[in-house]
Structure 1
């Protein structure tokens, strides 16, 4: 095939993976998708900030509520405060306690009959609540949430920070942690016009419930997305990794020299890049298999062709030792010389045939005037003289030069082989006609002789290596049977074609047609 344009020696720098290249493709696909899920899991950090904002709002609300209750207690006589505390505790749902400046308990809504503040015993909760608390603790640890102090009852008002602060004239509030991890909010304010302080206490379980509900919803979404993502990742890995592994195993078997046993999957149902890769590898393995078969067949043919002159040479050399007749010795020496020339010519042709593919793949094509080249070859032939009086004629279509892209030396070899072939099959004083014509975007070259022609059943076989059908008047061993095979290889490497047919004028002889891509000058 024709050489490709010059390309960089390696593009590995564009495809190099550093650390990730050591990880399987399946794991990388899973890692990328799981990383996206971890970003979604960051919603748990948002829930922590959401809970903190709710607690801040409830704390401010508790302080405002304590201040309002303190103002209400300040306008009623001291003997009516107990009744008002009970009423306000029922309306607000909080536990109210009134402390004197010395810290003594003056009134307590619980002792007044309003038992609206109760802490749950976590040991008596069901499995669901225990799991919820475990998740609370785990998420708080992960997000680094600040842990409030444990709520415990205190005998004196002075042991409550909020009460001590309120007695100085500043309202205060504190968030505590109940045994079941729910928040407890206490707030205290000084009674207007007096020295006592009122403290409110509420177990804000609704905050915990709200956060848990949101966390449950987020967990369900995260779990669903995780399952879908893992399923899609495994599906994607299966559709990518599995065929790649099959192709890799087939490539390894080809590398190990088992090309004939390997069937590289073509994946015709896939129209993506992996399908293109599979078909490219399949075509490559078929081409490699054909190349191996051709190489083995060529080696077998070379062995066969070399054995004939070697056997003749051995027989002549053995005979020289036992023959004393000078005339017979001269005949044997003539046979030896012919066999040596035949071996030399055969080895040269074999060397050219074996290297021609590799040389053409590295060749740099140039613009060649095929008509001028043919005229030069014919002129040299006529100057050297042509055997048996065979005449050469060249006809060129009017219109200037006929340009093709190729390697001049190789194209010259093709033309010389075809001219040699036509001359050898031509009768004495025969005519060999060469014509060059432009056909659309193709250059057509015709080589016609007046010989016996080529039978239709042999028109493809003559282009095979070592296939040689020679004229009856030609000496044995003058041709190796590689000329037409070499010509076809060179023509096809230039993007052209070559074949043989009968002459249109119905005269005896053969016509070899060569088609090459034509270059049109602007």
Structure 2
């Protein structure tokens, strides 16, 4: 699907960040997630701790009350004990029972009066109570709260039905226990011996207020969590603005670059951002600019190739057309020489054009190895001298120390680049001239220089001579012997090896040109 995209330059100001522009994306993501989780976890465990403290307080209070009431019953007159139990039970909203030495129940504060609490049947409660109980169970499961034993009112109410009462009588000190009422509320019981006899007092209470208070606190925390969720949503929108929106715009810009519909695609640069998005924006911008430059170079190269091929083709066509009309054998011989010359020129052009077109791709795939430039020059020296002898030119090579002029590269490509420089120097050298070659290491840099005694390179042309199809040949050289790609190939090769190539005057002040390749050296 093709996206309809309007990427304006003003997008850069809308995508820029202010106070958070220097935060790494990892820091933002961690901060937001940890913030929300910390509030959630803190609220849950705070509520569990609050319930635990409240329950412990109720249990301690029940233990204190049962001891005080047991002491009061011990000093009360027998005829007053039932009334006292009834009164204290009503005031404290608890149930009081006294068991005798035989384990039978002797007194009960509920006898003849209204119960101070009730045990509700959960099946008879409304649906919203079931939901509340489910929330209680989920909360207990999250915090790992212990599940107290369920309350089962004994069919025969005797001392042996209450372990805490037996423990209080046996140890002669108050004992407490927590059970779970049928509707899920805490059921607190406490027992204490009555005086120094064998009677024991049992106090029971359905502490429904604990659950009520906890649920109220949970509602409050629910509001807090709701606010937290809203804040998290807002923070997520902020995160989307700082991450998703810029990435989406960068992706759309890349998509438009791929489609190639616009000559200039405005890719947000985002210079104010120092995080990964900023790095990506700048990398994508640079990549787009590099791609645009490559396209321009390819278009210019195609135009230059067309222009360079037209000349020999036009000459070849003219010579071939004239052959049918020419009867003079000498003139026919001259036309055939023109045909051969043009065919040879086309062959050189096609070979050099093919090499230039695949040079970058091959260098990007080539595995570089250490190359000793001194050894490379020595391996080709004899061939150059044979070539230079035809023009009465000498070649001298200052051999470096073995292993000193070593660079990381491809032997065949470097040898072709050096060969192009030597061929260029031989071409411009006068009869009896000398071409001097030197290779050496200076600090961390390795250079190879070629000097000739020709006319030199004008200062204003020292950049242009490395352009493709730029050819300024000596007057005495036959036309068409060079394609004008030799120095361009040398430059592309050197730059593909991370080096640079320069054209300059000779350093000794004599007439002539000096070409120098410079590379980052490989440890000797």
Is residue 2:266 matched to residue 1:288? no
Asked if 1 retains the 8 angstrom alpha-carbon contact of 2:500 and 2:519, the reply is: yes
**Which of 39, 49, 52 is matched with 1:50 structurally?**
52
**Which of 340, 343, 350 is matched with 1:340 structurally?**
343
Residue 188 (structure 1) shift: 10
Structure 1 runs not aligned, ≥5 long = 1-25, 120-129, 151-158
Is residue 2:434 matched to residue 1:431? yes
Which stretch has the larger CA shift, 303-312 or 207-216? Answer: 207-216
Residue 321 (structure 1) shift: 2.2
Structure 2 runs not aligned, ≥5 long = 1-27, 119-125, 142-146, 167-176
Q: 1:143 to 1:261 in 2, by over 3 A?
A: same
Normalised to the residue count of structure 2, the TM-score between the two structures is 0.71
Partner of 2:158: 165
Which stretch has the larger CA shift, 137-146 or 466-475? Answer: 137-146
Count residues in correspondence. 473
Which stretch has the larger CA shift, 213-222 or 166-175? Answer: 166-175
Q: 1:200 to 1:360 in 2, by over 3 A?
A: closer
CA distance in 2 between partners of 1:411 and 1:493 (Å): 10
CA distance in 2 between partners of 1:210 and 1:314 (Å): 105
Could you report, residue by residue, the CA deviation over 1:89-135 in whole angstroms, capped at 9, with x for unpaired residues? 46645477999x99999986996xxx99589xxxxxxxxxx9x9798
Is residue 2:434 matched to residue 1:393? no
CA distance in 2 between partners of 1:167 and 1:374 (Å): 110
Residue pairs, 1:438-449, within 5 angstroms:
438-449=441-452
Which stretch has the larger CA shift, 298-307 or 38-47? Answer: 38-47
Secondary structure of the structure 1 residue equivalent to 2:285: helix
Residue 463 (structure 1) shift: 0.3
Is residue 2:500 matched to residue 1:497? yes
Could you report, residue by residue, the CA deviation over 1:498-519 in whole angstroms, capped at 9, with x for unpaired residues? 1112234444332222223344
CA distance in 2 between partners of 1:370 and 1:498 (Å): 15
Partner of 2:321: 318
Partner of 1:88: 88
CA distance in 2 between partners of 1:518 and 1:488 (Å): 18
Q: 1:30 to 1:445 in 2, by over 3 A?
A: closer
Residue 401 (structure 1) shift: 5.4
Which stretch has the larger CA shift, 333-342 or 282-291? Answer: 282-291
Residue pairs, 1:79-228, within 5 angstroms:
80-81=80-81, 83-85=83-85, 87-89=87-89, 92-94=92-94, 117=116, 136-137=132-133, 139-140=135-136, 142-143=138-139, 161=154, 164-165=157-158, 204=207, 206-212=209-215, 214-215=217-218, 218-219=221-222, 222-223=225-226, 225-228=228-231
Q: 1:70 to 1:401 in 2, by over 3 A?
A: closer
Is residue 2:489 matched to residue 1:486? yes
CA distance in 1 between partners of 2:406 and 2:178 (Å): 95
Partner of 1:20: none
Is residue 2:412 matched to residue 1:416? no
Residue 144 (structure 1) shift: 7.0
Q: 1:87 to 1:443 in 2, by over 3 A?
A: closer
RMSD: 5.0
CA distance in 2 between partners of 1:144 and 1:369 (Å): 76
Is residue 2:358 matched to residue 1:367? no
Asked if 2 retains the 8 angstrom alpha-carbon contact of 1:62 and 1:186, the reply is: no
Which stretch has the larger CA shift, 501-510 or 137-146? Answer: 137-146
Asked if 2 retains the 8 angstrom alpha-carbon contact of 1:178 and 1:184, the reply is: no
CA distance in 1 between partners of 2:229 and 2:449 (Å): 72
CA distance in 2 between partners of 1:444 and 1:420 (Å): 18
